[in-house]
Amino acid sequence: MHLTNVQYLNQTLRILLLFILVFGILYVGSVVLIPLTFGMVMAMLLLPVCQWLQNKGLSNGWASALSIVALLLVIGGVIALLQYQLSDLLEDLSKIEKRVDELVKGVKNYIQQNFGISHTEQQKIIKEQQSDGMGKVTGVVTGLVSSMAGIMVDAILVIVYTFLFIYYRAHFKKFILRLFKPESRDTTAKVLDNAGKVTQSYLGGLALMIVMLWIMYGIGFSIVGVKNAIFFAILCGILELVPFAGNITGTSITVLMSLAQGGDTKVVIGVLITYGCVQLLQTYILEPLVVGDRLNINPLFTILIIVVGEAVWGIPGMVLAVPMLGIFKIICDNFEPLNNYGFLIGPPREKKNEQGNFITRLFKSSK
């Protein structure tokens, strides 16, 4: 019995060391692995489109290529709409600049009245800070240009990787199956199929939810009087891809730009009310109905993996963390040495998605 406990402890330690090694490799190889992982996830998302085109009689090559074209058309349409709205925003640039100057003057007056620092002294402090920070500003601009170039290269790589993953998916699946013993290949094939289906379901639901958020934010921002409401609605929806921080960031940008464009307190309050209403609808209706419990992950580990993803890969890690954890849980559930970890990551059985099930039953019963 003692020997069994020692063996079990050694197995647990080996698995934990494997986790540490994996995260170390992910951190060191982020430049290569981030676009590769995005390509794999996008390929899973586009696989139903490719299979539908093949069922219509197209070859694998043409179906894979047209799937990528469809993705590019969707992205291009969103960018075109953003650019159209942004052009209107730039036309009001002089008004925004004037409004910003008024806000700055108001801040200066507040500082003078409450802290006794005159406008001249404030201006002198600002000039000293500007002269000290010119080198930093130059470094920031250079870093920004370099980052944009890197993003463009990574975007091209993601598109290429996505096409190759879709086109050679059968070959990759055969390779993975060959790594396992014949008696384990049925289980492995089941894991691969389930991982693909869960990821497709989750990402498809997430994409649909973002479109719904665009509509709701667009309607809400238009009603409360936000200029270029469609632009900020799309921005808030896209930032939902970054869990927790994204929606707050999008709303904060909308509030600041509304003030800069001459909006009053009523507009700001309206934006905050819109944000609150959309978040309530998203949390209690959209997520249970559209996204649901497809990943079946404990909320604690959802938050934890997002924090770890940000630490390892930054913002891309936050976006990829949840679906990758879902895939890992499927692997844990189907391989006995990892069953306990799958149990830990999952929600309590008796409390699993009570809210989502209730709302789903409510809407189904109304049909």
Per-residue pLDDT of 341-362, as tens digits, reads 888 888 776 544 444 444 445 5
CA atoms within 13 A on the CB side of 21: 6
Length of the chain: 367
Indicate whether 261 pLDDT > 90: no
Indicate whether 149 pLDDT > 80: no
pLDDT given at position 358: 47
Question: To 5 degrees, how large is the angle CA 45–CA 49–CA 52?
Answer: 145
Average pLDDT of the segment spanning 101-128: 68
Average pLDDT of the segment spanning 37-44: 89
SS (H, E, C) the chain: CHHHHHHHHHHHHHHHHHHHHHHHHHHHCHHHHHHHHHHHHHHHHHHHHHHHHHHCCCCHHHHHHHHHHHHHHHHHHHHHHHHHHHHHHHHCHHHHHHHHHHHHHHHHHHHHHHHCCCHHHHHHHHHHHHHHHHHHHHHHHHHHHHHHHHHHHHHHHHHHHHHHHHHCHHHHHHHHHHCCCHHHHHHHHHHHHHHHHHHHHHHHHHHHHHHHHHHHHHHHHHHHCCCCHHHHHHHHHHHCCCCCHHHHHHHHHHHHHHHHCCCCHHHHHHHHHHHHHHHHHHHHHHHHHHHCCCCCCCHHHHHHHHHHHHHHHCHHHHHHHHHHHHHHHHHHHHCHHHHHHHHHHCCCHHHCCHHHHHHHHHHHHCC
How far is residue 150 from each of residues 31, 156, 157, 158, 311, measured CA to CA in Å?
Answer: 10, 10, 11, 12, 20
Indicate whether 161 pLDDT > 90: yes
pLDDT given at position 59: 92
Structural domain boundaries of the chain? 32-93+147-179
More confident residue, 236 or 11: 236
More confident residue, 219 or 88: 219
Characterise 57 by phi-psi region: left (phi > 0), alpha (psi -120 to 50), beta (else): left
* Two tokens, residue 299: 């909320």
Indicate whether 73 pLDDT > 90: yes
pLDDT given at position 349: 61
State the average pLDDT for the chain: 77
* Two tokens, residue 27: 């951190």
* Two tokens, residue 66: 């047209």
More confident residue, 219 or 100: 219
Confidence of residue 249 (pLDDT cuts 50, 70, 90): confident
Average pLDDT of the segment spanning 314-337: 81
pTM for this prediction? 0.72
Q: Which of 38-47, 121-130, 216-225, 275-284 has the lowest mean pLDDT?
A: 121-130
Cα(100)–Cα(120) distance, rounded to whole angstroms?
19
